[in-house]
Amino acid sequence: MSTQFVKKPGKVKMKTEEAIAYYGGVKKLADALGVWPQVIYAWGERPPMSRQYELEIKTNHHLKADTEKELG
């Protein structure tokens, strides 16, 4: 896991690429979540909210779940 990961203050929008960077690759992220790497690729730009909450806990709040819900 990366110790150099820095999250910018302000509105938080967790991106899949941030989670991948934190864990050091798609395979390592998938292993941490107990899923196949294909699941990570299926997320698109942002992980599902349930995974965001899980990642927030597993990374000791280095990654943060979205702070606002988008409408539409």
pLDDT tens figures, 10-40: 556 899 999 999 999 999 999 999 999 999 9
2 CB-side CA count, 13 A: 16
DSSP string, the chain: --S---PPSSS----HHHHHHHHTSHHHHHHHHTS-HHHHHHTTTS--HHHHHHHHHHTTTSS---SSPPP-
Residue 70 in this model has a pLDDT that exceeds 80? no
Residue 71 in this model has a pLDDT that exceeds 50? no
Helix axes 26-33, 16-23, angle to 10 degrees: 90
The pLDDT value recorded for residue 13 is 84
The pLDDT value recorded for residue 67 is 78
Residue 68 in this model has a pLDDT that exceeds 60? yes
pLDDT over 90, % of the chain: 72
Q: What residue type is assigned to position 3 of the chain?
A: T
d(CA 53, CA 31): 17
pTM tops 0.85: no
